[in-house]
Amino acid sequence: MKKKHLFWLLLPSYWILMVISILIVASYAFHSTKNLYFHTLESGILTRATLLSEQVAPLMEKNDFAAINSLCKRTGQTAKTRFTVILPDGRVIGDSDENPRDMEYHGNRPEIVRALNGETGMDSRYSRTVGVEMMYLAVPLADENREILCAVRASLPMNAIEGELDTLTRRIVIASLLTGILAMVVCIFVVRRITFPLRGMSSAARQFAEGDFHHRIPAQQALELDQLAESLNTMSDQLNKTLSTLSQQRNEQAAVLTSLDEGVVAIDKKERIIHMNRVAGDILGINHEDCKHLMVEQVVRFANLQEFIKSLLGSMKPNSRDLTLRGKTEKQIQASGTALLNDNGESIGALVVLRDVTQLRHLETVRSDFVANVSHELKTPITSIKGFVETLLSDDWEHDAETRRFLDIISQQAGRLNAIIDDLLTLSRLEQKDGVVMTSTSNLASTIESAIYLCQLHATKKNIQIEMICPPELELAVNAPLLEQALVNLIINAVKYSEPDKKVLVLAEKQHDKTIIYVKDEGFGIEHKHLDRLFERFYRVDTARSRKLGGTGLGLSIVKHIVQAHKGSIRVESKVGAGSTFIITLPSPIPDETPAINC
Ligand code: ADP
């Protein structure tokens, strides 16, 4: 619908209202004046007829019709009125204008009929005698016995009134037209006065909408308009403040996001990019400013990252994954995602944080390679040192007590060094396999049994009994030699860090989709403060005791690597003086290959 200006909506209504008002007033004035004219004329004729009838009365008593006729003629000339006297039989006996003898029967005239019945009769009609429209008024003349003697009629031509009425009509029309024109002009000013401030406010509101908050609407004369102007000004101030706050917050957020070392990508539920910071753009090899509102597929070219984002949007659960982005250069990234929530806590998409760990991974590889190479290089000399010392200690050689003591120390330290190198090589192998191990279905009871068997010698030396509780049918997809090594490490520790004559229990059970293995001892226990760091390389609770007992400080670290390579977890519960329990949780069934987990 075509919109009209308020001015053109109001003005016609005002004009129509004004025209109707003028028409009503003019027609009322016309009719009132016309009625007043008629009443004045009527009462004038009545007075004249009554006055004449009083003069006719004595002449009627004498039956002097000639005197009556001449009275009519005289009075008629003076009063400029036509007088007629009619007998009850309808005969005219006196007339101011005509000879009564030539006049026809008048008893049938409506005003005469009424007068002869004793009432005042009135009529207006065209007079054939005079040839104009006339107003007639007849009064009865009665004797003392109320017997009607005659009717006295006075009449005046109507053309005088009609002329007056025509003049009146003309004046009323002219006055109405002039009033109408004047009122129309006034209406234009009135409507302009109403619409002008509204136009001003509307253009001010437009300026506010365009962001010009310095514009002010001036005070208005009308109270309501003034209140509206004030409200609009206040609204503009509030809007200005809110927008400034929002823009400040946005700038702060942008500054925070820009200065982050991590790449941040916010994505809505329809997989459209809401925001991407510069670092994310650098990681993905695109200009972050061009990505807004584009679909993830248009922006992210890496299938594995696309798949990560899709799974994140599907589950809306926090998730993180190590990904390799293969482009011009290969990048290692750590992608972490979580649900993106609005102010009401409703999920509106996902937030993905990308960390470029290429350098870190490279350093880790360098370190791991270095450790592996050093270990390899050390392995040969240490093996020959061990071999030669053992040869020197054999019965084929004779040494004095001092030399033998030194050779014993060399043999012991070479053994320790050898054990450390073995453990380092094991760790390197686990790392070099990229945390992935081949698995096959194995019977858990036989794996535990063979681990216990390998530790039996140590246990027997300290008279420690190793017990096993495991359902014989329990099968698991594991790398059996590695799991066995992990169990050996735990059982050896349990034996090492216990007083003689204690017990060690290895218990395995299946709980839902998990298999849990407990290695429980009655040993020294570990203080709570050490538990968090226990699985770090070379971390020892009591370094001196560990060394004395031949520990390398790598046993638990190897256990953790093996468990994580099986996608499992390990934790420890311990009480000083009461013993420790190491608890391995393995998913069951375990997939053939498990992803890398770094520690
Ligand atoms: P180590 O070769 O020194 O035993 P580990 O990595 O196997 O190195 O163990 C780390 C440290 O944890 C040990 O030095 C020891 O202090 C503590 N520890 C490990 N197992 C036990 C246990 N069963 N009871 C008490 N302390 C333990």
Distance 284 CA to ligand 1 centre (A): 44
Q: How many Å apart are CA 232 and CA 224, to the nearest integer?
A: 12
Q: Which CATH class is domain 262-355?
A: alpha beta
Superfamily of domain 14-164: PAS domain (3.30.450.20)
Q: Does the domain made of 440-587 have the CATH classification 3.40.190.10?
A: no
Domains of the chain by residue range? 14-164, 211-259, 262-355, 361-430, 440-587
Do 262-355 and 14-164 fall under one CATH topology? yes
Residue 430: band (very low, low, confident or very high) from pLDDT cuts 50, 70, 90? confident
Q: Which CATH class is domain 361-430?
A: mainly alpha
Tokens coding 439 = 């698995």
Q: How many Å apart are CA 363 and CA 366, to the nearest integer?
A: 5
Residue 289: DSSP 8-state? G
Ligand 1 pocket list (CB less than 6 A): 493-494, 497, 521, 523-524, 526, 534, 539-542, 546, 551-557, 580
| Plot region of 20 (φ>0 → left; ψ -120 to 50 → alpha; else → beta) | alpha
Positions of E strands within 177-308:
263-268, 273-276
Amino acid identity at 158: M
Q: What is the mean pLDDT of residues 395-402?
A: 86
**Is residue 597's pLDDT more than 60?**
no
Q: What is the mean pLDDT of residues 7-23?
A: 91
- Across all residues in the chain, what is the average pLDDT? 89
Burial per residue of 240-275, b for 16 or more beta-carbon CB atoms within 10 angstroms, e otherwise: eeeeeeeeeeeeeeeeebeeeebbbbbbeeebbbbb
**Is residue 280's pLDDT more than 80?**
yes
Question: Alpha carbon of 349 to those of 33, 264, 275, 302, 312: distances in Å?
Answer: 85, 13, 11, 20, 9
The C-alpha torsion from 231 through 234 and 236 to 242, rounded to 10°, is -130
For ligand 1, atom 8, which residue shows the shortest CA distance?
Answer: 553
Amino acid identity at 385: I
Distance 493 CA to ligand 1 centre (A): 6
Give the closest residue to 334 by CA, choosing from 598, 592, 591: 598
**Predicted pLDDT at 47:** 93
**Is residue 291's pLDDT more than 60?**
yes
Return the SS3 of 302.
coil
Residues, the chain, total?
A: 599
Positions of E strands within 30-79:
none
For ligand 1, atom 18, which residue shows the shortest CA distance?
Answer: 493
For ligand 1, atom 21, which residue shows the shortest CA distance?
Answer: 493
Pairing of strands 92-95, 82-86: antiparallel
Q: How many Å apart are CA 48 and CA 218, to the nearest integer?
A: 73
Q: How many Å apart are CA 70 and CA 81, to the nearest integer?
A: 14
Alpha-carbon Rg for the chain in angstroms: 63
Could you tell me which residues come within 8 angstroms of residue 297 by beta carbon, excluding any fewer than 6 positions away? 271, 306
Q: What is the mean pLDDT of residues 354-378?
A: 89
Q: How many Å apart are CA 348 and CA 306, to the nearest integer?
A: 18
**Is residue 595's pLDDT more than 60?**
no
* pTM score: 0.55
- Out of 497, 533, 536, 599, mutate this one to test ligand 1's pocket (max ligand atoms within 8 Å of CB): namely 497
How open is the CA angle 446-451-455, to the nearest 5 degrees?
A: 145
Q: Which atom of ligand 1 is nearest to the CA of 550?
A: 2
* Range in 49-63, 123-137, 507-521, 563-577 with the lowest mean pLDDT: 123-137
Q: What is the mean pLDDT of residues 331-347?
A: 89
User: How does pLDDT run across 171-180, given as a tens digit for each residue?
Assistant: 999 999 999 9
Residue 495: band (very low, low, confident or very high) from pLDDT cuts 50, 70, 90? very high
**Predicted pLDDT at 593:** 44
Q: Which atom of ligand 1 is nearest to the CA of 498?
A: 24
Q: How many Å apart are CA 589 and CA 476, to the nearest integer?
A: 6
Distance 483 CA to ligand 1 centre (A): 18
Half-sphere exposure of 468 (CA within 13 A, CB side): 17
**Predicted pLDDT at 186:** 92
Q: Is the peptide bond before 589 cis (omega within 30 degrees of 0)?
A: yes
Q: What distance lies between CA 3 and its chain's CA centroid? A: 30
Q: How many Å apart are CA 554 and CA 435, to the nearest integer?
A: 17
Q: How many Å apart are CA 65 and CA 95, to the nearest integer?
A: 11
- Out of 458, 491, 493, mutate this one to test ligand 1's pocket (max ligand atoms within 8 Å of CB): namely 493
Positions of E strands within 490-567:
503-511, 514-521
Distance 542 CA to ligand 1 centre (A): 8
**Is residue 435's pLDDT more than 70?**
no
CB contact at 8 A, 259 and 277: no
Residue 599: band (very low, low, confident or very high) from pLDDT cuts 50, 70, 90? very low
**Is residue 29's pLDDT more than 80?**
yes
Amino acid identity at 301: R
